[in-house]
DNA sequence: CGTCTTTGACCTGCGC
DNA sequence: GCGCAGGTCAAAGACG
C-alpha cells in the first residue's frame, strides 16, 4: 500500500505512550469510585482539550493531590479524570478510524482484484461451456490441457510469431520487464472473446477466449485459452498469465471487466451480454450444468470431456474422509466388487452445479488406508483450504489429459524451450477413447507404496512414478522419454537441500535433502526449487505439482501445509503462467531461503 | 424445519 | 440380448 508506514508507526507509538502514561497516572490517582451521575455532569460541561495539555493537567493534579486536602480536590479530580478518560477515548477512536480507513483501502483493493478475477472466471466458464456445446468430444480431446494456454506474440504489423517462439519471446519480454520494470510502465490488457463455432471465420481449433496484453511497445501478447475439459484450469492459467504480465507492466485495465461492479453485477452483465448475442445466458448454461435439475446434470456427467480424468489419493487415516477443504455431500454408497468396504460417493457442494465428485473407499488389505478419488474440476472459487488439493487434482488430471492427445498437437502447442522440451514428441500416446485414466498418489507411510502412479486404460502407456522416500521425492518418467538437458539448473548452484535433475533414460528428478533433520523447511525448499525447475515441461509440471501439492496438504503439521501450499501455489502459478520468469523468481526464493 | 445421510431402485456401459 | 458392475437418483429417516 502506498501509505506512509513510518509516519503512522511513529504517531502510533507516541499515542500509545500517552495512553500508557495516562493509565499509570489514573491507576494511582483514582482514590474513589466514579458515579454515573458525576460522569454525566462532567462530560456535559467539559470542553475538548488537546492531548498534551490533558496529560499535563492530570500530571499536575496528581502532584496536587499529595499537597492539598482531599475534601476540596475530589470534585476536580473526578472532573479531570473524566476529561482525561474522554480524551483517551477520543484518541482511541481516532486510531480506530485510521485503522478502519486503512482496512477499507485494503478491502477496496482486494474487492477490485476479486471482481476482475471473477469477471474473467465468469467469462471463461461461460465461453467454454458454449464451446462445449458446439464441439464434439473428439475435438476436445485433441486439445491438451497444457496447451490450452497458448501464447502468441502479435507483432506490430499483425504477424504472429510461431508458438515456439512466442513463449520464448514472452519469457524474454517478461525478463526484460523484470530487469527494467520502469521501462514499460504502461500497458493495457483486454479480454476479448469470440465463439469460434459461431464466428464467421469459424476456426474451431482456435480459442473462445483471448486475453490481449498490449504494452506501449506496440507488441501484443495474446493469452489464448483453448477449450479444454478443465475450465478452471484454463481460466486460472489465463488469469495467472494475465496477472504475471499485469505485475510487470503495472497495467490493470481490463476491457472486459468492470472492477466497480460487484461480482453479482458482473455476472449479470455477462449474462446480458450473452443474451444480447442470441446465445444462452450464463445463468441458463450454469443451470444446464447444475444439479438441479438432475436430468441435466446427468447429461453433463455423461460428457466424457468433463469426466475422463481422475486423481486418486491414498492416505493413511482413521477419519471417514480426507479433509481437503471443500464441502461435500454424500449422495450414494455402493459395495464394490472385490472390496468388502463400501465405496462412498460425494459431490462438491461449495457451489451448485460444481461437477467435481469424489469417491472414498478403504483399502481391503489395509483398512487404515483411505483412497479418495477426485473427478472433475471445480467451477467456482475455492476456499483457501481447498486450493492445494484442487490444484492437485487439476494438475494431475491435466497431465493425464495432456497425455491423451496427439503428438502433433503437443508439438504445436507445447514447444517453449528446447532445453526442456521433454516428451513433447516422444510421449507415448494414449488413445482418446481410453476411459477414465487415473493418476494415483500414494501417500501412505509404506515406503514401498510411497509412489504416485500414472495409469491409463491403455496398457501401452508407461507410468510416471513419484516416490516419496525419507530424504526426498523421486520422479521416474517413462523410459521412452527423451533425454533431458538440464541446462538451467546445471549452471545453478544447488541449495543445501540439493536438487538434481538427471539426464538419460529413465529420467529421474530427485529432491534430496542433505540434512533430513530440516525436514519440513527442506521439503518446502525442494518443492519450490523442483517445481520451478521443471515448469518448462507441462508434462512434468502437472504431474509433479500434483504429487507435491498432495504431499504437502497431507502433512500433519497444518502450519507446514499452509506455508508450503503458499509457496507451491506460487510455483504452480509460474508453471501455469509462463515458461520463463517464474522459474527465476522461484529459484531466487529457494536460494535465499535455503541459506 | 431444513439439511444431511442412508439405502434400495434405477440407469448405463461393457463383456460375453 | 442378457447379466454384471459401477454410478446415480430420490424417498425416507436421522439429526441439529
CATH number of the domain at A392, please: 2.20.25.80
Give pLDDT, residue A321: 80
**A492 domain residue, yes or no:** no
Count of CB atoms situated within 10 Å of the CB of A101: 11
The number of folded domains in chain A is: 2
**A511 domain residue, yes or no:** no
Regarding beta strands A498-502 and A508-512, do their DSSP bridges make them parallel or antiparallel, or are they unpaired? antiparallel
Q: Which domain holds residue A120?
A: 86-131
Q: Say how many residues make up chain A.
A: 595
Which residue did the predictor score with more confidence, A446 or A302?
A: A446
Q: What percent of chain A has pLDDT over 90?
A: 1
**A381 domain residue, yes or no:** yes
Strand C close residues, chain A 339-358, CB < 7 angstroms:
343, 345, 357
**A516 domain residue, yes or no:** no
A227-252 per-position pLDDT tens digit: 233 333 333 333 343 333 333 333 33
Protein residue at shortest CA distance from C1' of C4: A337
A20-63 per-position pLDDT tens digit: 333 333 333 333 333 333 333 333 333 434 444 443 443 344 33
Instruction: Tell me: pLDDT of A594 over 80.
Output: no
DSSP string, A257-289: --TTS-HHHHHHHHHHHHHHTTS--HHHHHHHH
**A321 domain residue, yes or no:** yes
- Selection from A214-223, A317-326, A336-345, A544-553 with the highest mean pLDDT: A336-345
Which residue did the predictor score with more confidence, A395 or A287?
A: A395
Q: What is the mean pLDDT of chain A?
A: 47
- For residue A572, the surrounding DSSP H or E stretch is helix A558-577
Tell me the average pLDDT across A522-551: 40
Give pLDDT, residue A370: 87
Residue that finishes a domain, picked among A410, A442, A474: A442
**A582 domain residue, yes or no:** no
Is the backbone peptide bond immediately before A583 cis, with ω within 30 degrees of 0?
A: no
Residue A489 and residue A501 in contact, taking contact as beta carbons nearer than 8 Å: yes
Residue A398 and residue A542 in contact, taking contact as beta carbons nearer than 8 Å: yes
d(CA A192, CA A200): 16
Give pLDDT, residue A76: 65
- For residue A564, the surrounding DSSP H or E stretch is helix A558-577
**A225 domain residue, yes or no:** no
3-state DSSP call for residue A449?
Answer: helix
Give pLDDT, residue A382: 79
Residue that finishes a domain, picked among A442, A474, A499: A442
Give pLDDT, residue A389: 67
Give the CA A294 to C1' B10 distance in Å.
Answer: 14
**A530 domain residue, yes or no:** no
pLDDT band at A130 (very low <50, low <70, confident <90, very high): low
Which residue did the predictor score with more confidence, A272 or A392?
A: A392
Regarding beta strands A508-512 and A472-476, do their DSSP bridges make them parallel or antiparallel, or are they unpaired? antiparallel
d(CA A549, CA A309): 18
Instruction: Tell me: pLDDT of A439 over 60.
Output: yes
Instruction: Tell me: pLDDT of A357 over 60.
Output: yes
Give pLDDT, residue A178: 33
Protein residue at shortest CA distance from C1' of C8: A332
Measured CA to CA in angstroms, residue A453 lies from A464, A466, A546, A547 at distances of: 6, 7, 11, 10
pLDDT band at A378 (very low <50, low <70, confident <90, very high): confident
**Which nucleotides of strand C come closer than 7 angstroms to any CB of the protein?**
4-10
Amino acid at each position: 500500500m502506498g501509505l506512509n508506514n513510518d509516519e503512522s508507526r511513529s504517531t502510533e507509538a507516541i499515542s500509545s505512550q500517552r495512553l500508557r502514561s495516562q493509565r499509570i497516572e489514573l491507576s494511582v490517582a483514582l482514590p474513589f469510585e466514579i458515579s454515573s451521575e458525576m460522569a454525566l455532569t462532567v462530560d456535559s460541561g467539559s470542553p475538548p482539550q488537546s492531548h498534551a495539555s490533558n496529560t499535563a493537567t492530570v500530571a499536575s493534579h496528581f502532584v496536587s493531590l499529595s499537597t492539598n486536602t482531599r475534601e476540596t480536590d475530589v470534585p476536580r479530580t473526578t472532573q479531570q479524570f473524566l476529561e482525561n478518560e474522554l480524551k483517551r477515548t477520543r484518541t482511541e477512536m481516532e486510531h480506530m478510524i485510521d485503522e478502519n480507513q486503512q482496512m477499507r483501502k485494503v478491502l477496496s483493493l482486494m474487492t477490485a482484484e476479486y471482481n476482475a478475477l471473477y469477471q474473467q472466471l465468469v467469462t471463461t466458464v461461460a465461453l467454454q461451456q458454449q464451446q462445449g456445446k458446439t464441439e464434439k468430444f473428439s475435438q476436445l480431446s485433441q486439445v491438451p490441457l497444457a496447451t490450452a494456454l497458448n501464447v502468441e506474440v502479435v507483432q506490430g504489423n499483425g504477424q504472429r510469431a510461431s508458438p515456439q517462439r512466442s513463449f520464448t519471446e514472452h519469457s524474454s519480454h517478461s525478463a526484460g520487464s523484470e530487469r527494467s520494470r520502469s521501462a514499460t510502465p504502461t500497458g493495457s490488457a483486454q479480454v476479448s472473446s469470440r465463439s469460434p463455432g459461431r464466428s464467421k471465420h469459424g476456426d474451431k481449433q482456435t480459442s473462445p477466449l483471448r486475453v490481449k496484453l498490449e504494452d506501449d511497445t506496440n507488441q501484443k501478447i495474446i493469452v489464448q485459452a483453448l477449450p479444454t475439459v478443465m475450465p478452471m484450469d484454463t481460466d486460472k492459467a489465463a488469469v495467472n498469465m494475465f496477472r504475471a504480465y499485469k505485475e510487470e507492466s503495472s497495467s490493470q485495465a481490463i476491457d472486459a471487466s468492470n472492477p466497480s461492479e460487484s461480482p453479482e453485477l458482473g455476472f449479470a452483465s455477462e449474462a446480458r451480454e450473452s443474451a444480447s448475442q442470441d446465445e444462452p445466458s450464463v445463468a441458463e448454461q450454469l443451470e444446464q450444468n447444475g444439479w438441479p435439475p438432475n436430468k441435466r446434470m446427468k447429461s453433463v456427467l455423461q460428457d466424457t470431456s468433463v469426466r475422463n480424468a481422475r486423481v486418486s489419493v491414498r492416505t493413511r487415516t482413521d477419519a471417514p474422509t480426507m479433509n481437503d477443504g471443500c464441502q461435500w455431500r454424500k449422495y450414494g454408497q455402493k459395495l464394490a466388487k472385490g472390496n468388502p468396504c463400501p465405496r462412498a460417493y460425494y459431490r462438491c457442494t461449495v457451489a451448485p452445479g460444481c461437477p467435481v465428485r469424489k469417491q472414498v473407499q478403504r483399502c481391503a488389505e489395509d483398512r487404515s488406508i483411505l483412497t479418495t478419488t477426485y473427478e472433475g474440476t471445480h467451477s467456482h472459487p475455492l476456499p483457501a483450504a481447498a486450493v492445494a488439493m484442487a490444484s492437485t487434482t487439476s494438475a494431475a488430471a491435466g497431465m493425464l489429459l495432456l497425455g491423451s492427445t496427439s503428438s502433433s498437437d503437443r508439438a504445436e502447442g507445447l514447444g517453449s524451450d528446447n532445453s526442456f522440451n521433454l516428451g513433447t514428441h516422444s510421449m507415448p500416446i494414449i488413445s482418446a477413447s481410453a476411459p477414465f485414466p487415473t493418476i494415483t498418489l500414494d501417500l501412505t507411510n509404506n515406503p514401498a507404496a510411497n509412489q504416485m502412479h500414472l495409469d491409463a486404460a491403455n496398457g501401452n502407456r508407461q507410468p510416471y512414478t513419484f516416490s516419496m522416500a525419507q530424504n526426498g521425492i523421486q520422479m521416474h518418467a517413462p523410459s521412452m522419454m527423451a533425454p533431458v538437458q538440464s541446462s538451467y539448473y546445471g549452471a545453478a548452484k544447488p541449495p543445501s537441500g540439493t536438487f538434481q535433475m538427471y539426464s538419460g533414460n529413465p529420467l529421474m528428478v530427485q529432491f534430496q535433502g542433505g540434512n533430513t533433520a530440516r525436514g519440513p523447511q527442506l521439503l518446502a525448499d525442494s518443492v519450490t526449487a523442483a517445481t520451478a525447475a521443471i515448469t518448462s515441461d507441462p508434462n512434468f509440471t502437472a504431474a509433479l505439482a500434483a504429487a507435491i501439492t498432495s504431499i504437502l496438504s497431507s502433512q500433519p503439521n497444518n502450519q507446514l501445509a499452509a506455508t508450503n501450499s503458499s509457496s507451491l501455489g506460487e510455483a504452480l502459478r509460474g508453471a501455469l503462467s509462463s515458461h520463463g520468469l517464474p522459474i527465476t523468481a522461484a529459484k531466487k526464493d529457494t536460494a535465499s531461503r535455503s541459506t
